[in-house]
Structure 1
Amino acid sequence: MTSLLNGKTAIVTGGAQGIGLAIARLYLAHGANVVIGDLDEAAAAAAATELGADRVRGVRCDVVDAEQVQSLVDTAVADFGSLDVFVNNAGITRDATMRTMTEEDFDLVISVHLKGTWNGTRLAAARMREQKSGAIVNISSLSGKVGMVGQTNYSAAKAGIVGMTKAAAKEMAHHGVRVNAIQPGLVRSAMTEAMPQKAWDQKMSEIPMQRPGEPDEVAGVALFYASHLSSYMTGTVAEVTGGRFM
Structure 2
Amino acid sequence: MQDTWFVIPLFNEEQVIADVVRDVRRTFPNVVCVDDGSSDGSAAAADAAGAVVVRHPVNLGQGAALQTGFEYALSDPGMRWVVTFDADGQHQVSDVLEMLEKARAEHLDVVFGSRFLDQRTQAGALKKLVLRMAVAYTNLTTKTRLTDAHNGLRVISRDVVSRLSITQNRMAHASELVAQIGALDIRYGESPVHVLYTDYSRSKGQSLWNAVNILVELILR
TM-score (norm 2): 0.42
Higher helix share: 1
Which of these two proteins has the greater Rg computed from alpha carbons? 1
